């Protein structure tokens, strides 16, 4: 301990010890007691999907903001980065329900002003009408609208209405990164949302729908999933 020390000395000591206290990485630890079992269940579907049975990844991208900028994106030029006007106006939000087919990469979607349980079940009705095979596997995270609760057996009743042909596979808590629809949501964010400017929520919705249509017609492909879960299972 010293009574005084210069900023340059502090920097020199930290560099010598390869310590960077100004850099902090966030992490989230799952306390799910069934973490390993759920992980291998979901990963097993990706690496060895059941023959003739669709494997679908379903989730919501909530709170998509319709932001309008004073000026549109100024694209990058030689020697100059692209520029985006900081000042913006909020024009409402939309929630996107998405269903990613693991085998084909095609996406089924619906936009909604809210993400209540009835919105989710209505979207699942759309999924059921699209995939009429005898057995369908659905990967979900642990959002309370996605499973039965003490308030009622909502998912069980929904499945019963559809002949109990859906098998639900839940990711571990804090393990929604195992759901492949999250990878596709990332593509949507980078392509459409990050630099977009939308005067109304309806305009945002049209842009998202147009991207989904383009994706299904020209770009749809399965993701090359390689993670087997072995490091976390050790």
Asked if 120 contacts 60 with a C-beta cutoff of 8 angstroms, the reply is yes
pLDDT tens, per residue, the chain with 234 residues: 778 899 999 889 899 999 998 888 887 778 889 999 999 999 999 999 999 999 999 999 998 998 887 776 777 778 787 776 676 788 899 999 999 999 999 999 999 999 999 999 999 999 999 999 889 999 999 999 999 988 889 999 999 999 999 999 999 999 889 999 999 999 999 999 988 889 999 999 999 999 999 999 999 999 999 888 775 544
DSSP bridge pairs for 112: 95
N residues, the chain: 234
For residue 182, what are the contacts with CB-CB under 8 A and spacing of at least 6?
59, 176
178-200 pLDDT tens trace? 999 999 999 999 999 988 889 99
User: Which CATH number applies to 30-233?
Assistant: 3.30.420.10
Report the pLDDT value the prediction gives residue 3, as an integer from 0 to 100. 83
Each domain of the chain, given as residue ranges in start order, spans 30-233
DSSP bridge pairs for 137: 55, 167
Output the CA–CA distances (angstroms, integers) from residue 187 to 162, 181, 183, 223, in the order listed. 32, 10, 7, 12
28 three-state secondary structure: coil
């Amino acid at each position: 301990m010293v009574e005084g020390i210069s900023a340059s000395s502090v920097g020199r000591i930290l560099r010598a010890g390869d310590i960077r206290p100004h850099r902090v990485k966030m992490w989230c630890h799952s306390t799910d007691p069934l973490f390993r079992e759920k992980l291998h269940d979901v990963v097993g579907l990706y690496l060895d999907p059941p023959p003739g049975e669709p494997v679908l990844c379903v989730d919501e991208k909530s709170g998509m903001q319709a932001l309008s900028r004073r000026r549109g994106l100024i694209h990058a030029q030689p020697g100059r980065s692209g520029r985006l006007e900081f000042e913006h106006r909020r024009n409402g939000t939309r929630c996107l329900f998405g269903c990613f087919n693991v085998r084909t990469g095609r996406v089924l979607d619906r936009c909604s002003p809210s993400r209540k349980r009835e919105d989710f079940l209505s979207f699942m009705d759309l999924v059921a009408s699209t995939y009429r095979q005898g057995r369908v596997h659905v990967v979900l995270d642990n959002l309370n609208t996605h499973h039965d609760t003490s308030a009622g057996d909502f998912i069980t009743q929904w499945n019963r209405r559809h002949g109990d042909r859906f098998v639900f596979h839940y990711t571990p808590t804090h393990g929604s990164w195992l759901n492949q629809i999250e990878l596709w949501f990332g593509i949507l964010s980078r392509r459409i949302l990050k630099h977009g400017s939308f005067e109304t929520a309806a305009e945002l919705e049209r842009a998202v729908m147009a991207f989904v249509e383009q994706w299904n017609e020209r770009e749809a492909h399965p993701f090359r999933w390689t993670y087997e879960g072995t490091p976390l299972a050790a």
